[in-house]
Amino acid sequence: QILINGEVFKVGKATFSSVTKDFPTRLHTQVRKLREALGPQADITVNTLSLGRTTSKHAREVETSILRWIYDMHKVVPSGNIKSFK
C-alpha cells in the first residue's frame, strides 16, 4: 500500500524475492518515481502486509479484497488503482 499525504494512492502485490533498500524492487521503483514527480514535500508512506509464501493468485485475491473494502467504505478507488479496478 502506498499512501501520499495520508491518503491511499495504490494497493498492489509485490514479491520480496527481489529487494532494493528494504522494499520489493517494484515497490521501490514506484515510490522513487512518485518522489520524482511530486517532489520532496510529498509525504509518501509505504505499508506492507506479509502473506508469507503464497501464490500470485492468492496475492491478487487479497489485493482485490482490500480494494473492495476501500471502495465499500469510501466509495472511491485509490487513484493508482483506477486502471486495474474492476
Q: Write the pLDDT tens digit of every residue in 49-81.
A: 888 888 889 999 999 999 999 999 999 999 999
Q: What is the mean pLDDT of the chain?
A: 90
- 2 beta partners: 10, 46
Residue 83 has a pLDDT of: 87
Burial (0-12, 13-18, 19+ Cβ within 10 Å), 23: middle
Residue 11 has a pLDDT of: 93
Query: Does residue 15 or residue 9 have the better pLDDT?
Result: 9
Angle at 71 between CA 64 and CA 9, to 5 degrees: 80
Residue 5 has a pLDDT of: 92
Residue 34 has a pLDDT of: 94
**Cβ contact 21:11 at 8 Å:** no
